[in-house]
């Protein structure tokens, strides 16, 4: 290892790495980044009878030789243990992440997100993994009580999903305190970019703005802090590399906030079609569950990881719009997805 700007730099060439949630939006980008840097990646995806590998179906051929795909379920300790057996680094992104889905199926969400995390940490403990990078979410903070949310902000479970992630975060903390498992908890704010599903707000807006007369949304008032996926992936990599990151919880956010209504207006302007914005009742969250404001303080990531976002919201939106235009057949445009 060398050093740069106070951050220890890991040479990834031939290092064995496990990524859970590898077929998903952020996970697939992370797998590609690690493989591009020479890591030997075990990509853990959730088993399905169609043998669909998510976005890993589109893994560039020149990287395929560096990625071993393993299908299983995070709730199965033996599957997780086998996948993690030789890993020096574990990036744990696997989770059920839809808030509306968590209203309908809270038990499944808790089992996957909490017990799945226990299984990952147990496997890492047994394998003496050098570092576990555990994925949290800005949703654990609930509605902001301060202008910017730092890592000391109180945690508040405003949905079964956010409560499951709070529990998973505390389990991760306990494995550091009780068993010396070297864990870093990263808290991405709202990541967006190519490959994201219409479960998320930005693809929801883009797909409707491209082809519909109306953009149907829930509440337009809440504010969010959006980070382009390449910046989020960079933060994950740096969290694995930085010596001082162990046992810390670290926000990965742009430090800028925008309301959902203003975001929709920005996207419609970039698409260049006259489209109405409509608030649809079925998309509204229960009043006490809606998180009204998320605005990150990313100063700890800057200090510990040497990380700052590099992609502006407009630049990232243009890239995402271009990608969605080329993949519209992958979206059921206008249908509310949970």
Q: What is the CATH number of the domain that holds 71?
A: 3.40.50.720
Q: Is the pLDDT of residue 101 over 60?
A: yes
Q: Is residue 48 part of a domain?
A: yes
Compute the average pLDDT of residues 89-98: 97
- In the structure, what pLDDT confidence band is assigned to residue 15 with cuts at 50, 70 and 90? very high
pLDDT over 70 percentage in the chain: 97
Q: Is residue 21 part of a domain?
A: yes
Select from 198, 201, 180 the least CA-distant residue to 190. Answer: 201
Q: Is 47 helix (H, G, I), strand (E, B) or coil?
A: coil
Tens of pLDDT, residue by residue over 186-236, are: 999 999 999 999 889 999 999 999 999 999 999 999 999 999 999 999 999
Q: Is residue 217 part of a domain?
A: no
What pLDDT is attached to residue 3?
39
As a whole number of angstroms, the longest Cα–Cα distance in the chain is 57
Nearest-angstrom CA–CA distance, 267 and 271: 6
The pairs formed by 264-268 with CB atoms below 8 angstroms and a separation of 24 or more are 264/205, 264/209, 264/215, 264/217, 264/220, 266/313, 266/314, 266/317, 267/202, 267/205, 267/206, 267/209, 267/317, 267/321, 268/205, 268/209, 268/215
Q: Is residue 203 part of a domain?
A: no
Which residues face 16 on adjacent strands?
A: 40
What pLDDT is attached to residue 31?
98
- In the structure, what pLDDT confidence band is assigned to residue 125 with cuts at 50, 70 and 90? very high
Q: Is the pLDDT of residue 2 over 90?
A: no
Tens of pLDDT, residue by residue over 245-267, are: 999 999 999 999 999 999 999 99
- In the structure, what pLDDT confidence band is assigned to residue 4 with cuts at 50, 70 and 90? very low
Q: Which residue has the tokens 């994950």?
A: 236
Nearest-angstrom CA–CA distance, 202 and 187: 19
Determine whether 161 is an active site residue: yes
What pLDDT is attached to residue 16?
98
Q: Is residue 337 part of a domain?
A: no
What pLDDT is attached to residue 91?
98
Q: Is the pLDDT of residue 291 over 60?
A: yes
Tens of pLDDT, residue by residue over 28-54, are: 999 999 999 999 999 999 998 888 889
Q: Is residue 307 part of a domain?
A: yes
Q: Is residue 305 part of a domain?
A: yes
Domain count, the chain: 1
Tens of pLDDT, residue by residue over 135-144, are: 999 999 999 9
Q: Which residue has the tokens 């209203």?
A: 103
Mean pLDDT of the chain: 95
What pLDDT is attached to residue 7?
52
Structural domain boundaries enclosing 77: 2-191+229-255+288-311
Indicate which residue of 161, 175, 192, 336 is catalytic.
Answer: 161
pLDDT over 90 percentage in the chain: 91
Compute the average pLDDT of residues 326-332: 92
What pLDDT is attached to residue 279?
94
Q: Is residue 268 part of a domain?
A: no
């Amino acid at each position: 290892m060398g050093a740069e700007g106070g951050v220890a730099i890991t040479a990834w060439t031939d290092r064995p790495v496990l990524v859970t949630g590898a077929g998903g939006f952020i996970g697939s980008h992370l797998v590609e980044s690690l493989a591009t840097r020479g890591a030997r990646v075990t990509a853990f995806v959730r088993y399905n009878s169609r043998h669909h590998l998510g976005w890993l179906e589109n893994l560039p051929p020149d990287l395929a030789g560096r990625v071993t795909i393993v299908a299983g379920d995070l709730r199965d300790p033996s599957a997780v243990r086998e996948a993690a057996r030789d890993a020096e680094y574990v990036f744990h992104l696997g989770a059920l992440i839809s808030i509306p889905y968590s209203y309908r199926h809270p038990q499944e969400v808790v089992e996957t997100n909490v017990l799945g995390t226990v299984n990952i940490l147990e496997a890492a403990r047994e394998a003496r993994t050098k570092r576990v990078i555990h994925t949290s979410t800005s949703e654990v903070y609930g509605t902001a009580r301060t202008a910017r949310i730092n890592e000391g902000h109180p945690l508040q479970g405003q949905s079964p999903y956010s409560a499951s992630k709070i529990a998973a975060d505390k389990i991760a903390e306990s494995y550091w305190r009780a068993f010396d498992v070297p864990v870093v908890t990263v808290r991405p704010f709202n990541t967006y970019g190519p490959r994201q599903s219409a479960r998320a707000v930005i693809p929801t807006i883009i797909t409707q703005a491209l082809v519909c007369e109306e953009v149907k949304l829930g509440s337009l008032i809440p504010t969010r802090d959006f980070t382009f996926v390449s910046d989020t992936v960079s933060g994950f990599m740096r969290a694995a590399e930085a010596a001082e990151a162990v046992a810390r919880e670290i926000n990965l956010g742009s430090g800028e906030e925008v309301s959902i209504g203003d975001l929709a207006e920005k996207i419609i302007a970039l698409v260049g079609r006259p489209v109405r914005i409509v608030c649809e009742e079925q998309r509204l969250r229960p009043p006490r569950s809606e998180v009204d404001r998320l605005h990150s303080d990313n100063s700890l990531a800057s200090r510990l990881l040497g990380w700052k976002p590099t992609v502006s919201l407009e630049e990232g939106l243009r890239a995402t719009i271009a990608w969605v235009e080329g993949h519209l057949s992958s979206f059921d445009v206008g249908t509310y997805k949970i």
